[in-house]
Amino acid sequence: MSALDVGFPAHHPAPGLPTEVTVYEVGARDGLQAEKALVPTEAKLAFIRDLVDAGLPMVEATSFVSPRWIPQLADASDVVRSLAARGDDLTRHPVLVPNQRGLDRAREAGASAIAVFVSATDTFVARNLNMTRTQAIETAQQVVGEATAAGLHARGYVSMCFGDPWEGAVPPEQVATVTRQLIDAGCYEVSLGDTIGVGTPGHVGAVVAAHQDLGVGPGSLALHFHDTYGQALANVYAGLQAGVTTFDAAAGGIGGCPYAGSATGNLATEDLLWMLHGLGIDTGVDLAKVVRAGAAVTHLLGRPSPSRVVGALGLD
């Protein structure tokens, strides 16, 4: 019998925190894109199905990047078409698009929701997208404008929000300026990424406050943490205290960043849910089902899950 079978974690709400939170699952896209193994399309679809069945409201499906860059997601069109064929609500399965070509491919496949990504720093965007930060923002703005005009939902990602391995510390005001541009372009929400996992709780508060100074409230933000230095859950708690109610995570803690060698996996959805449920925060997600989904995908990848919850339950 596991801890989940006997009712753990116990619920003990903390004053002043949100009562509901959206867990935005990125394992099938951000998680798998950084893995060396090529996962079969049917296995990806099963992973997405299991995550939806667990009650996760948003399960990012794939990315329409060049297969030369990310061969792990070369089957993006097949994934989206298969999801549509089985009757999935594609607004719950956003796809990442890096440019106009990516948007065109996503629309051809039938996508209903897209995400764009830029960096808060110059060096990372040059290495990642082979363009300047200004060019990357302008490209994202154009893609978002066309997508929203066509009736698609558009989300934004900003990477390197808490530190850059080449440039060092990143001023919170610099991050907020990039976010403001994406919001103005039509993104309904912008996810702030701690791409190399160097953020700490006070830093999270400072970044959210810098956004509020530019008129971007916590309701328009999501937080995306990596656990490189073991700070991800502490940073989530700081985000909750700042009023943020959407957090990205990947079942099984899979992923990392193929363009930032020091980045470890994403915050594990299982660990995030354990903390949120312990705080009495409603997510609408079945933790036990996510644990099983995460364990299945890490077994498929041939390695143990870094999730502490999965390890404690003896499923790694």
The string of pLDDT tens digits covering residues 155-204 is 999 999 999 999 999 999 999 999 999 999 999 999 999 999 999 999 99
| Catalytic residue status for 161 | no
Cα–Cα distance measured from residue 272 to residue 286, given in angstroms and rounded to the nearest whole number: 12
The string of pLDDT tens digits covering residues 192-206 is 999 999 999 999 999
Predicted pLDDT at 4: 76
Dihedrals phi, psi of 307, to nearest 5 degrees = -60, 125
Predicted pLDDT at 259: 46
Predicted pLDDT at 263: 46
Question: pLDDT tier at 260 (50, 70, 90 boundaries)?
Answer: very low
What average pLDDT does range 234-248 have in this prediction? Answer: 98
- Is the per-residue pLDDT at 31 higher than 70? yes
Question: pLDDT tier at 129 (50, 70, 90 boundaries)?
Answer: confident
Dihedrals phi, psi of 157, to nearest 5 degrees = -120, 135
Cα–Cα distance measured from residue 293 to residue 298, given in angstroms and rounded to the nearest whole number: 9
- Is the per-residue pLDDT at 211 higher than 60? yes
- What is the average pLDDT score of the chain? 94
| Fold of the 3-312 domain | TIM Barrel (3.20.20)
Predicted pLDDT at 303: 86
Q: And the tokens for 52? A: 């939806």
Radius of gyration of the chain (CA): 18
Asked whether the whole model's pTM tops 0.85, one would answer yes
DSSP single-letter state for residue 229 = T
Catalytic residue among 39, 208, 233, 257: 257
Cα–Cα distance measured from residue 232 to residue 271, given in angstroms and rounded to the nearest whole number: 10
Question: pLDDT tier at 150 (50, 70, 90 boundaries)?
Answer: very high
Predicted pLDDT at 134: 94
DSSP single-letter state for residue 27 = I
Predicted pLDDT at 258: 46
Q: How much of the chain is in helix, strand and coil states, percent to nearest 5?
A: 45, 15, 40
The string of pLDDT tens digits covering residues 72-116 is 999 999 999 999 999 999 999 999 999 999 999 999 999 999 999
